[in-house]
Structure 1
Amino acid sequence: MKRTLCNHCHFPEQTCVCTYLGKPLNNHCKILVLQHPSEVKVAKNTVRLLSLQLSNLEVITGETETDFAQVREQLQSVQCALLYPSESAMSLSAPSEEVNQPAIETLVVLDGTWKKVHKMLMLNPWLMSLPHVSFSDLPKNQYHIRKAEQAFSLSTLEATAHFLHLYEAISPEPLYRALAGMIEQQTRLMPADVKQRYLRDE
C-alpha cells in the first residue's frame, strides 16, 4: 500500500519532519546539487531537507554528460566551483570576510555514494576542470543512519551546511536540527537493538 505523504515536507506522514524545520535560510551563493538517480527515492537522503531549508538551491538528477549538458552550459556564464576534496582544491578554513575568499556564485555539490560520485566524475570530465573547494577541518559526522564509506564522509546536507557556515557565515544549526529530526523520525519505530546499531557513534 502506498504511504501517504506530508503535503509540505513530502516525507511519509509517519516520519514527517515539519516540526524540525525553521524558516528557509537566505543563502546568496546558489547551491546546485547534481544528484545521482539512485539517490532520488532513498528515504534517508538529505537533499530533500536542503530543498526545504535553503532559499537558493537547485537539484538536477542525472549521471551522464548528456544529462547535465544544459546545466554545464549555464555554468559557463557564472563564477562557480565544485565542492570536492581534490589535491588542487582551495581549502576554506573559518567563517570570515577574507580578501582571499574565492568568488563563488554557484557551488556544485555531487549527491551520491562515493562510488556513484566517482562514476559521475568519470562520465563528466568537465567537472574536474572547474575550480574545486574543500575544507581544512571537517565537523563531526552527525549522519548516523547511513554508513559512511570513508572516515571523512559527510552527508550532502552536512557538507553544504559547513560550506555555507564558512563562506557566508550562515549558522548550520537549522540544517543540523532538520537532520537530527529526520534521524529521530527514521529511527523511532526501529526495534531497540537495530536503533542502537545505527546510533552507536553518537
Structure 2
Amino acid sequence: MVEEDPSGALDYAQGALRAGAGWQARHCRALAQLETGDEETAARDLESLARMPAGHADGPTNADQAMLAREAADAWLALGQASRARTCAEYGLTRQKQDQGLVIVLARALLAQNQTAEARDVLSGFLTAAPQASSQDYVLLATAERRMGQIGPALEHVSRALVLDPLNPEALLERGIISEQQGHAASARQDWLQVLELAPDSHEADLARQDLAVMAADPDSP
C-alpha cells in the first residue's frame, strides 16, 4: 500500500502496531511516513530498527538490519544530515559487508562531507571485491576522482558507467562536467541537454540547467 496509498498504509501499520505486531509493522509505518512527508521521524525509526539488539526470535536478521540501515541512511541523506547517514551506512556494513546499496549511500555521505579521498577508497575497495559493479558505483567513483583532479581515471570510470547504463542521467551529468573541464564545451552541452530530455524533473536536471546557464554566460564558450 505504501506506494499506492501511503496514508492508508500508515493507518494500517498503526493499527497493526496497536494489535501487537512486530518490527515489520514499524518498518511499514516508517516507509509510509517517508511518503507522507514525515521524513525525520521515519529516519529515526528506521535507524532504531536497524540497531535492535540481536537474539530476539522475531527480530530482524543481519540482512534485515543492513536493509534498514540503508533506508535510514538514505533518509538522513535526503534530509541533508550526511554525518548521520554515514554513521548508519557504516553500521549497516557491519551487518552485511558487501551490501552494494550501503556502499553507495556511504560514498554519497562521504562526498557530501567533502571526504573525497575516503569516498574514492571505499568505492575502489568495493569495486575490487564486487562480482558485478553497477553504473552508480562507477559514477560516484568518477565524481570523487574528478574532485581530486584525477581527470583521466574519472573519464574512464564514467565511461564504464555509461556502458552499463547509457541513459543514466547522473553519469551523463558527470561526463559533461568532465568534458567541460577538459575544454570540450560542445560535448558537455550535448550531455547536459540529454539529461534534461531524460529526467527533466530530477536533481541532475537542475544541475545541468545551472551548468548550461554558466556556459551560456561565458563569452569565450563556443
TM-score (norm. length: structure 1): 0.27
Asked which structure has the greater RCO (Cα within 8 Å, sep 6+), the reply is 1
Query: Comparing both structures, which one devotes a greater share of its residues to helix?
Result: 2
Query: Comparing both structures, which one devotes a greater share of its residues to strand?
Result: 1
Larger of the two Rg values belongs to structure? 2
TM-score (norm. length: structure 2): 0.26
